[in-house]
Structure 1
Amino acid sequence: MARTYGVDVSVYQDARLNYPGAQFAIVKLTEGTGYQNPVAYDQITSAKKQGIAPMGYHFATFGANSLAAVSEANCAIAKAKSVGLPKGSALACDWETGDGNKVDGGVNVSASAVLAFMDTVAKAGYKPLLYSGASLLRNNINTKLILAKYPNSLWVAAYPSGNGTKVDIPNFNYFPSMDGVAIWQFTDNWKGMHVDGNVMLIDVTKSNPSAKVAEQVKLPEKMEVTVHPVVKWDVPRVFVVTNKAGATLYDDYDLKKSIGSRPQNSSFIVLDEKNGAIKVGKNQWFDGRAGITKSNPIAYDDYKSGTLKVMLDNTHALDAPKADAGKVYKLVKGAKYKFEGRKGRFLALKDKYKDKTVYVTGNRAFIVL
């Protein structure tokens, strides 16, 4: 289901779904503790009959109150069961402004409340997601706390073309770059059908028995990633300038005062991100649209495999992951090798001659992204 399109609907859409090309449908079930979508059952049933993966969402009014969040989650779960939403399906918390939901309770307290909702949903056998606009997710809630417990659980709304504009396919040049995005809601007028359009980036339907295998979204050719920077094992993310004319460097995330520029293909460690701007140094920000961000999987997971590039002379494969280990053989500077995980700062290689594991220090051989 990854890289496929879907819609999200509420009582304002027809009970029978009719959106050609949609492979998943996220149906509003409840709001607060007093509202239930009267056509949710029909919309879920319609999705199932068409082979569309059904999911659900709840509009939160609990703000930063964890006790209220649990109560609202239980209401959403009860409705999910009553309308036949299969266990294992995604059930999202729609946390945004409106209908009394307060989003200014503090980034950590708000995140704790959302986690209380998500924990309750998870215990009930559904897959929890968090939905909101890109700005709120960046500024009003600590998504790091959310993602630490529920990786790839964000459903983010960002409309590069503005409200009401007919959009057929998402423009990934304006992707709301942030960690943990599973679904991007990229328009509120998909194909001119006046329904929210979404693209799924991380498959959240794997445990959903109603889902069918869907055709992948074909991305624009200009979005093919050809830039492969190298980073040390402990660098989480980098920003690569892809704009042919280079990228302007600004003194703040408001992108008003220019302090210089950097050429195409130059890369920088990402220190922070705000309102679509990328921080790469003290008082140094890029417009995120001037490049791409690339994540280093090995920085988050010791067991991820990948490719390394030897950057220094006299680099050797070692017989153990420690500085004083014996040297097994010399590695070629500039050459690339496949690695199979990491132990501390040492990357594990398979000895191509003896089929044993050897190690190379991450300070001499960098990860290729």
Structure 2
Amino acid sequence: MTNHGYILDVSYFQPQACYYNFWSKWKVRGVTGGIVKLSEGTGWTNPYATAQIAAIKHEGLAVSGYHFSRFRGNSYQAVSEANLAISCARRMGLPQGAPLVLDYEERLGYRGTNTQAAISFCKCVKAAGYVPVFYSYSGMASLWDCDAIFNATGAVVWIAEYPTMAGVTAPYMNWFPGISNHIGAWQFTDNFYGEHIDGSIDLTGVFSGMTQQKITQGGHLDGYHFENDKLVVSGWFASDKAQGKPFSYVILTDDSGHEYARAAVNLADRPDVPKAFPDIPNAGKSGFNASFTYTNDMVGKKLHVIFRYTDDKAGNGNFVDYTEFIELNKSAAYLDSKSVTVDTNDLFVSGWFASDLSLGNTYHYLILYDVANKQELQRIKIDAVDRPDVAKQNGSIYGAGQSGFTGKFKYDGNLVGRKLQVISRYSDDPKYGEGKRVDYWFEPFNGPAMPLLDGNSSITIRCHDFSAKRFDDDTIEVTMK
């Protein structure tokens, strides 16, 4: 095996890696590059990453970045996490064409969905002009298919396996974990030179021999959201192969290529794109935005979003495409509050529930359920409540803007302490809430105590107006309307 040098990976736990002398010391020991943790999940970023990258560059070493994933087998979240990693890479100074690693360490999920989510992440990285690499432990090989990831994205494997936890200065090559033909590097220790820092051997030059690539094509689906019954997608695509293809389209298909809809689009200005991809012709005019009617055929499906340049006014002919996908099977909900009213002894609940699967189910019901007896207790039909706050945070879920609900169930002492559950349901049945439907079961809770004014209890009362009068004996008379 060829040794292209040793590589260190550093994170928030190595603030000393911000200094030049840290890397100059390791350079003497044969280190040829550094890999910096940029981000984690959907929000965490490394506050030292910019300085760590700058220090690596200053010492003339190759620099790479990595993202610690939390998406498991969720491809939708994988794309969101990739967007965070790419944004951090650009902001923190990772050079275009450098490796950007997907660090996959959660010992959960299923091989198929984990692999597809990893592919989704790596495709985003590749489209953004970085080199995708997949990292994990050899003992987790049953949770992903590294050959499928490589075939779909070109991402080689950076594999981790430690023959010993003692300090070492070189790998024990007889312990090499040859689980794939696409291993580019091996992290053989977390105690390199006894300094409790991760050390890897670069077997292919993936981390030490990469040069900045000339990128002549790229694209990205920036996002999608719903506006009532319209599905709106936006992003950018630019290519040197788009010359002589003046017509631009966005097309939606399923996995088998069945087309749902297409829309001709006018290109929008994207001054950010040529800054990141100076070698792509006409990158500054590469933005797209398209709106489609959300139909029952799309519900629950994985849709391919295809951006196309073509020489045919109808969107066929000679063309060049860029494809990403979205999955329209998401649901989200939250029970904001539950309380027993004093004046009417009602169980008042409020919250929200949105689902991609609710298209056509225009009637909203709330169900009170007895968990122990597995029995429905009450059912009420409710009106939709506008929730612009939900739409802001969950705009990619159908119906989020009108997902709010409030409702009152009749409540008495027989329900106190019983394990209850609220079910939010969208149905196409206007009378009973059966028929075609989609449900969300909120977490069970113990039926709250009946409100008592005993001089010690603190209660919340909902009313439109009130007045209070204090008497000489310090009692208070409250009048509510």
| 3-state SS of 1:23 partner | strand
Matching of residues 1-369 of structure 1 within 5 Å = 3-13=4-14, 14=16, 15-16=18-19, 17-18=22-23, 19-20=26-27, 21-97=30-106, 103-136=107-140, 138-151=141-154, 153-161=156-164, 163=165, 165-179=166-180, 180-205=182-207, 206-209=209-212
1:31–1:59: 8 Å Cα contact kept in structure 2? Answer: yes
SS, match of residue 147 in structure 1: helix
Change (3 A) 1:152 1:201: farther
Gaps of 5+ in 1: 98-102, 211-369
Shift of 1:55: 0.2
Contact in 1 for aligned 2:122/2:155 (Cα 8 Å): no
Q: Distance in 1 between matches of 2:139 and 2:87?
A: 31
CA offsets, 1:29-59, max 9 Å, x none? 0001110000000000000000110000000
Q: After superposition, what is the alpha-carbon deviation per residue over 1:187-236, rounded to whole angstroms, capped at 9, x for unaligned?
A: 001112221000011122544359xxxxxxxxxxxxxxxxxxxxxxxxxx
> Alpha-carbon deviations, 1:156-188, whole Å to 9, x = none?
100011x3x101001110000122111100000
Distance 1:123 1:151, change over 3 A: closer
TM superposition shift of 1:124:
0.2
| Cα 1:30/1:134, change in 2 over 3 Å | same
Matched to 1:190, the amino acid is: F
* Counterpart for residue 325 of structure 1: none
Q: CA deviation at 1:150?
A: 3.8
RMSD of aligned C-alpha atoms? Answer: 1.7
Whole-angstrom CA distance in 2 between matches of 1:153 and 1:115: 12
C-alpha contact 2:7 2:31 (8 A) present in aligned 1: yes
1:105-163 deviation digits (Å, cap 9, x = unpaired): 21111100000000000000000011111011x211122211222446101100011x3
- For CA contacts below 8 A with separation 6 or more, give which structure has more relative contact order: 1
Contact 1:152 1:202 in 2 (8 A): no
TM-superposed deviation, 1:11: 0.8
Decide whether the 8 Å contact of 1:27 with 1:44 is kept in 2: yes
Contact 1:167–1:191 (CA under 8 A) maintained in structure 2: yes
Work out whether residues 152 and 181 of structure 1, in 8 Å CA contact, stay in contact via their aligned partners in 2.
Answer: no
Task: Please give the TM-score of this superposition, normalised by the length of structure 2.
Answer: 0.41
- Contact kept in structure 1, 2:188 and 2:199, CA below 8 Å: yes
Q: Deviations over 1:258-280 (max 9, x none)?
A: xxxxxxxxxxxxxxxxxxxxxxx
Q: Which moved more, 1:191-200 or 1:118-127?
A: 191-200
Relative to the length of structure 1, the TM-score reads: 0.53
Cα 1:74–1:2 shift into 2, 3 Å: farther
Q: What is the alpha-carbon distance in structure 1 between the residues aligned to residue 3 and residue 98 of structure 2?
A: 15
Q: Which residue of 2 aligns with 1:241?
A: none
What is the rounded CA distance, in whole Å, between the counterparts of 1:25 and 1:192 in structure 2? 18
Which structure 2 residue ranges, 5 or more long, are not aligned? 214-481
Identity percentage of aligned residues: 38
The equivalent residue for 1:258 is none
Q: Secondary structure at the match of 1:91?
A: strand
- Structure 2 CA distance for partners of 1:125 and 1:88, relative to 1, 3 Å: same
2:127 partner letter: K
Letter of the 2:108 partner, please give it: D
Opposite residue 35 of structure 2, the aligned amino acid is: I
Q: 1: CA distance between counterparts of 2:76 and 2:114?
A: 12
Q: Is the 8 A contact 1:87 1:208 kept in 2?
A: no
- Partner secondary structure for residue 7 of structure 2: strand
Deviation of the 1:4 alpha carbon: 1.1
Counterpart AA for 1:4: G
Query: Is contact 2:132–2:154 with CA below 8 Å preserved after alignment?
Result: no
* C-alpha contact (below 8 Å) 1:91/1:127 kept by paired residues: yes
The verdict on how the C-alpha distance between 1:148 and 1:208 changes in structure 2, with shifts beyond 3 A counting, is same
Letter in 1 for 2:211: N
Distance in 2 separating the partners of 1:188 and 1:201: 18
Pick the structure with more strand per residue: 2
Distance 1:55 1:64, change over 3 A: same
Q: Provide the C-alpha distance between the structure 2 equivalents of 1:91 and 1:72, rounded to a whole number of angstroms.
A: 12
Larger radius of gyration: 2
